[in-house]
Structure 1
Amino acid sequence: MRAMIQFPDISPEIFSISLFGMEFALRWYALAYIIGIVIAWRLAIAALKSPSLWPGQKAPMRPEQVEDLLTWIILGVILGGRLGFVLFYQPSYYLAHPGEILRIWQGGMAFHGGLLGVIIAAWGYAQRHGISKLQMADLVAYTVPAGLMLGRLANYINAELWGRPTDLPWGVAFPGQAAQDCGQALGAICARHPSQLYEAAMEGLVLGLVLIWLTWRRQSLQHPGLNLGVFLAGYGLARFTVEFFRQPDAQFVTPGNPLGLAWEMAGYGLTMGQILSLPMIALGLYFALRPAKQKAAI
């Protein structure tokens, strides 16, 4: 019998209370958002209170402005993530059921849509307050990975966004639909790649440490656009790689397309996550390499 790791029995709810006949619960995913926002806030404050990190020894905004910026960004994440899921992954369904588009509590958020929402929100805030847009982008990019890591850990706890079936010894026997689908693919053995943990490590921990090191040890904020480029290229490469191990979205999986490819030609293809990651990689390389051509290498 193949070795596998049994999924830990962790409730998606940390605790719940009943008030006036209604149930209120704190979930791991909500806690991940809260802690991620707090970490991003503290990282941004620390950078803005260190003028020596910035060009001309001057931070682009005051530390007290960060709280206002976070409000804009939170709205960008929620609206962009939801609309991205609707447009990128299930447009036909939501065109037929437009009343469900705003039902965020039912699930369905897309990172790439959330990223676009953050970009629009940060650009709008910078435009309104006369802040350098590239410096704003560098600041935001440096603070994001911690939240990504926590979000992926919450995905794991919730037993969602699991990976493809595997017979590797670290494969995890997820419950529910994952077990049913996996059982059909592997018979009595049902284990999947813990792709949420792969993403937490690559998109969150590793990318976050790289950006912190660049910011504090290599003075990357002195080169506007560099942090932004490293984040975009780093996330794009990490997501592109993990897509080989992550179970594709159900709407793309058919008997004739078991790998869930959104684009296929001559036996090769890409998932939707990989397609959306390619522009990130290209744009990231542009911003990361552009400063090196204009200024001394870091």
Structure 2
Amino acid sequence: MLNDIYQSLDPVALTLGPLQIRWYGLAYIFGFILAGLLLVHLSRRWKLKMSEDSIYTVLMCIVLGIILGARIGYCLFYGDGYYLAHPLKILAINEGGMSFHGGLLGVLIGGFVASRITHVPFATLTDLGAVMAPLGLFLGRCANFVNGELWGGPTDLPWGVVFGGVAGNMPRHPSQLYEAVLEGLVLFAILYCLARRNPPHPRGTYIGTFLLGYGVFRFLIEFIRQPDAQIGYLLGDWFTMGQLLSLPLVVAGVALLIYARVKKLPQQGEPEGE
């Protein structure tokens, strides 16, 4: 049944003359819209003092950080030297290639810039971003499924999907959907339940939970996800690049949760007088 659904999907959502609007691009757009709505909701629920200008500034920094970080991260982590030899191809986002780990680094840099501009504590902005992130991950992984990319290894399970092309004609794990559920829906449910507390948990709690949860889920799913062909397995065919990049996230997540529990710093908005 799942294979039938996939075969009926078209990566192009809408065609307007020479312009093609793809589901992958729409996933980014809707993800940013949901992030903006959730940012407004949480800032009010947590009783943070954030002006409209500050919210727009934070969103703009997040958008730029994700797009630039995800693209540059893919070129560095998964390009296997190709983009060093063809630097102009870095700009060819329409050809695909975005990295979560690069996007995470980019959004942290963007959050730091936004913190300096708005004077909202960096840790509070990262906590807000952590609650928003799983929704974007859910949409992005669903778009990966529609595109027939980042598929899993062969399987004889009844929900295996024949992706065709480079993936061949054997049924494979729809690992994109596994990630959509775990990294997206499950992680969002956990973080949103934590975010409903008033007053909110101390600074570092939400970003720590996100990094820990994402790192664990991604590490486990990588066991059944087909590694990138240009890289394959690493360290004696034991680990994928995704697993190696996720291990530091688990460590950072645990460290941040310990930091939040020890310091117990309250969430804060803009300082008085701003």
Aligned to 1:255: none
Aligned to 1:73: 62
Please give the residue correspondences for 1:130-145 in structure 2 after superposition, counting only pairs within 5 Å: 130-145=119-134
1:61-114 CA deviation, whole Å, 9 max, x = no partner?
A: 335422222111111111111111111111411111122122111111111001
SS at match of 2:16: strand
Structure 1 residue 4: Cα displacement = 8.2
Q: TM-score, normalised by structure 2?
A: 0.91
Q: TM-score, normalised by structure 1?
A: 0.84
Instruction: Write out the 4+ residue segments of structure 1 that deviate beyond 2 Å after TM superposition.
Output: 3-8, 60-65, 218-222, 289-296
Q: Which amino acid aligns with 1:123?
A: F
Aligned to 1:282: 251
Contact 1:214 1:220 in 2 (8 A): no
Change (3 A) 1:4 1:27: closer
Structure 1 residue 170: Cα displacement = 1.6
Q: Which amino acid aligns with 1:171?
A: G
Please give the residue correspondences for 1:155-170 in structure 2 after superposition, counting only pairs within 5 Å: 155-170=144-159
C-alpha separation between the residues in 2 aligned to 1:232 and 1:223?
A: 16
Contact 1:262 1:269 in 2 (8 A): yes
SS at match of 1:142: helix
1:216-273 CA deviation, whole Å, 9 max, x = no partner?
A: 0x34733000001001111111110110111100112xxxxxxx21222xxx621100
Give 2:41's match in structure 1, choosing from 36, 40, 46. Answer: 46
C-alpha separation between the residues in 2 aligned to 1:113 and 1:80?
A: 5
Q: Which amino acid aligns with 1:262?
A: L
Change (3 A) 1:13 1:137: same
1:204 aligns with 2:204: no
Aligned to 1:12: 11
1:120 aligns with 2:109: yes
Aligned to 2:19: 24
Q: Which amino acid aligns with 1:289?
A: I
Q: Which amino acid aligns with 1:38?
A: I
In the alignment, structure 1 segments of 5+ residues that lack a partner are 184-189, 253-259
> Is the deviation greater in 206-215 or in 71-80?
71-80
C-alpha separation between the residues in 2 aligned to 1:201 and 1:220?
A: 28
Please give the residue correspondences for 1:75-90 in structure 2 after superposition, counting only pairs within 5 Å: 75-90=64-79
1:181-213 CA deviation, whole Å, 9 max, x = no partner?
A: xx5xxxxxx100000000000000000011100
C-alpha separation between the residues in 2 aligned to 1:283 and 1:220?
A: 24
Q: Give the paired residue count.
A: 264
Q: Which amino acid aligns with 1:205?
A: L
* Cα RMSD for the two superposed structures: 1.9
C-alpha separation between the residues in 1 aligned to 2:75 and 2:173?
A: 26
Q: Which amino acid aligns with 1:126?
A: S
Structure 1 residue 294: Cα displacement = 4.3
Larger Rg: 1
